[in-house]
Structure 1
Amino acid sequence: MLGVPVVAVALAISGCQSNGDNLDLAMLVENVEPADALYNQGLANLNAGRLSEAAAKFEAVDRQHPYTEYARRSLVMGAFTQYRQAQYEEAINSGRRYVQLYPTSDDAAYAQYIIGLSYWRQIRDVTQDQAESRRTIEAMQEVVQRWPDSEYVDDAQQKIRFARDQLAGKEMQVGRYYLERREYIAAARRFRNVVEDYSTTRHVEEALARLTETYLAMGLQSEAQTAAAVLGHNFPDSQWYSDSYRLLQSGGLEPRENRGSWISRAGALIMGS
């Protein structure tokens, strides 16, 4: 079956040469190897740590034997190899392509997991943009929701928690920036985001303390007292609570929860409740 395209290429070369074109035969004729041989060579290279060679073999399977079972396997292994090489955008693209082509296959969850891992590896410090944290959450939530019984769910959930913690940390960083500049409304909005949207992260404790400080500076005593009360209820041994308590006492106040406040409602969702 391979003879027909080779003859066709030979005729094309002959015609071009008669027109004076100097073509390199190696550029037109690719040495086609069996799909299983290429795939096994890719695995061998991968196991030996020769990642570039492995990637080349997996790509050759996909190129030379498209839509075969070995091409399917090579696509997901190629995504993994790209991830190992820190070629994250390439790994994401390969993973997406796999999920689109083979959404019901056994390896679809793994391909989606590779997408999430590739975003997770690119998460930056909280002082920088957190777009990759959001993308990590989206990608890993796909793993959890679409393949709830897969072996990758537990780690996907851990990565989601980490990324959410990063987003909360970013909100706190910006909130502290505004608080230092006495831009209290902007600061309170950021700390409120943490309490309402990231109540199970480690940053909620400080967020409540900062709300106590911010609301007190704004003259909103009831809200400040409620923030401190919710903080004390959830984290009674916290240094943040001790500091907030002393701050209120310095103004002749004490923690007192207003059940009608948004802080009281949000308090029911905090991890310490």
Structure 2
Amino acid sequence: MSIKHLMLVGLVVLLAACSSNKANVLDESLSESELYAMAQKNLDANNYSMAIDSLRALESRYPFGRFAEQAQLELIYAYYQSMELEAAKSSADRFIRLHPQHPDVDYAYYMRGMTSFTRDRGLFERFLPLDMTRRDPGAARDSFNEFAQLVSRYPDSRYAPDARLRMVYLRNLLAAYDAHVGHYYLKRGAYVAAANRGRYIVENFQQTPAVGDGLALMVEAYRRLAMDDLADNALLTLQTNYPDHPSLKDGEFRHHVEPAQKDAGWFKSMTTGLLDKALTPPSMNRETQMEREMEQQYQNARSALPKDIRAPQREEQQPKRSIWSRMTFGLFD
């Protein structure tokens, strides 16, 4: 196909799009009932973008009409179904603020929790088997708190049973995330922080599957700190309540986490690490948001320790080498 033909086809498509946009402009003469009926028709047809246009027009043209409040509720749903989650949450907050005594305000609370629940579940998360316990838990915490508000304010709401089930799932997810953080601390040698994280799981996430992991973290960390009494107490609790935990083999504790050691390949050895920063983009230095948050938590926990018991980091143990020293392999130092 020649360039002229391609340009002609592009022009036709552009004109068709422009004409369709003009056709989609809502008639100014439509009554409140007609706008609401149009919105319902679009919702039934899963045409949420058109439904949003109709509902917004209805709300702006007839703010005190008989369908105004219902249109605000259905606008939350339309935004949510079109994956405009921030707009859905803003609409839910606005409805709660304007109509706190509305008989259907519990739906706004429920949808506010659903927007946070769905925030981290984008296209890849829905179709790929990604581990949500290793993701940033900010949205999960928000969703749990918002569902908790619904359950506490409206315990008899028809949305409360579903909210309670989602809260159980979110609590398990948050506990598993903290267990991953504790394992990260063990690998970094931050045994005090790992023991505190394990104890936090045991104290705050009872009846979750991660309690056994929290006890295993405490056993491992206390052993590394030579606190045998605390390690034995945690081990006895683990053996009594979780005899089938993966860290136990024939009743004996076998959970060992070795400190992380990066393997320096031949290319890094040949270049003495000079090209590492050039080859690694800054955004790839930490692969996930969870690792960035865990690194920050580790640094905070380390800085909170007294200087006399703080283990020196590698950068503190060895002075910085100059570029000349690296290029000459230290022969002229």
- TM-score of the pair, normalised by structure 1: 0.75
> Is 1:90 equivalent to 2:105 in the alignment?
no
Residue 198 of structure 1 and its aligned partner are, at CA, apart by 1.4
Please name the residue that 2:36 is paired with. 39
Residue 137 of structure 1 and its aligned partner are, at CA, apart by 1.1
2:115 to 96, 114, 118: 118
The AA in structure 2 aligned to 1:64 is R
- Give the unaligned 5+ runs of structure 2: 1-25, 122-131, 256-333
* Distance in 2 between residues matched to 1:143 and 1:153, nearest whole Å: 7
Residue 183 of structure 1 and its aligned partner are, at CA, apart by 1.3
Please name the residue that 2:230 is paired with. 223
* Distance in 2 between residues matched to 1:53 and 1:85, nearest whole Å: 11
Deviations along 1:35-60, one digit per CA (max 9) or x if unpaired, are: 22211211110111111111111111
Residue 233 of structure 1 and its aligned partner are, at CA, apart by 2.5
Please name the residue that 1:173 is paired with. 180
Instruction: Percent identity, please.
Output: 29
* Distance in 2 between residues matched to 1:233 and 1:114, nearest whole Å: 42
* Distance in 2 between residues matched to 1:244 and 1:217, nearest whole Å: 20
Identify the range of structure 1 (237-246 vs 181-190) with the bigger mean alpha-carbon deviation. Answer: 237-246
Please name the residue that 1:140 is paired with. 147
Residue 157 of structure 1 and its aligned partner are, at CA, apart by 1.2
Contact 1:213 1:247 in 2 (8 A): no
The AA in structure 2 aligned to 1:95 is A
Contact 1:212 1:244 in 2 (8 A): no
- Give the unaligned 5+ runs of structure 1: 1-28, 249-273
CA RMSD, aligned part only? 2.0
Contact 2:134 2:177 in 1 (8 A): yes
Deviations along 1:14-37, one digit per CA (max 9) or x if unpaired, are: xxxxxxxxxxxxxxx971422222
Contact 1:209 1:244 in 2 (8 A): no
Count of equivalent residues: 220
* Distance in 1 between residues matched to 2:169 and 2:92, nearest whole Å: 22
> Is 1:71 equivalent to 2:77 in the alignment?
no
CA shift in 2, pair 1:199/1:241, >3 Å: farther
Contact 2:247 2:254 in 1 (8 A): no
Identify the range of structure 1 (29-38 vs 45-54) with the bigger mean alpha-carbon deviation. Answer: 29-38
The AA in structure 2 aligned to 1:105 is H
Q: Which has the higher helix share?
A: 1
* Distance in 2 between residues matched to 1:243 and 1:204, nearest whole Å: 20
SS of the counterpart of 1:45?
A: helix
CA shift in 2, pair 1:88/1:128, >3 Å: same
SS of the counterpart of 1:69?
A: coil
* Distance in 2 between residues matched to 1:246 and 1:127, nearest whole Å: 25
CA shift in 2, pair 1:243/1:32, >3 Å: farther
- TM-score of the pair, normalised by structure 2: 0.62
> Is 1:60 equivalent to 2:57 in the alignment?
yes
